[in-house]
Structure 1
Amino acid sequence: MFATPAFAQAAGAPAMGGPQDMLIQFLPLIGLVVLFYFLMIRPQQRRMKQHQQMLTAMKRGDTVVLSSGVIGKVVRVEDKEVGVEIATGVTVKVRKAMISDVSVRGEPAAANDTKN
């Protein structure tokens, strides 16, 4: 009864786009991936590389800060673990990955620290 051809659908339908149209559609997505790489992934890789270099350069007598905030002095360096003296006569074994900062022996103290 009301069955009429739908001429409006066929009249303004665009032709199938070529590879250029497809590239234009994916260009913002590609741009976001590149931006994400330069703002997030690359700096994190650089930080990881610096941390690994810091851990490999660690030696006996260095002062370390653990990821828990405990400060101690390195008394023994092994392959994957480090012996850290956290108090006089108290030595604990710590995984190297849990060390967040290393201060080399002989490094100058901060200006506001007073030594008695």
Structure 2
Amino acid sequence: MNQELIMQWGPIVLMIGIFYFLILRPQARRRKEEKEFAETLKIGDKVIMSSGIHGKISQINADKGTVQVETGAGKITFEKSAISTELSKKLTAPIKEK
């Protein structure tokens, strides 16, 4: 009886474990890193938006979760989540050799 139960439910438990370690856990880690990135942004940081726009943060509105970015065309308001890269961090990151 006990062995039949393991044979029946074992693969299902194994699939749930694989699903957790391959999908849910990496997504949670990525969300945490993105949240920490957004919290470390400050006025004056040079950033690249996910749309490819380059600019400098001129104002941060923490209540609404938005930032005002000064670009060559003027000041534009974006969601914090639209910032993909902070240039000073990108430029100081170590270069990986092949």
TM-score (norm 1): 0.68
Aligned residue runs from structure 1 range 81-92, under 5 A: 81-87=66-72, 90-92=74-76
Coordinate RMSD, CA, aligned: 2.3
Q: State which drifts further: 52-61 or 92-101.
A: 92-101
Structure 1 residue runs without a partner (length 5+): 1-17, 112-116
TM-score (norm 2): 0.79
SS of 1:61's equivalent in the other structure is coil
Structure 2 residue runs without a partner (length 5+): none
Rg larger for: 1
Which residue of 1 is the match for residue 25 of structure 2?
42
| Identity over aligned pairs, percent | 32
Aligned pair count reads 92
Tell me by how many angstroms 1:109 deviates: 8.7
The letter of the residue matching 2:66 is E
More helix by share: 2
Aligned residue runs from structure 1 range 100-111, under 5 A: 100-104=84-88, 108=92
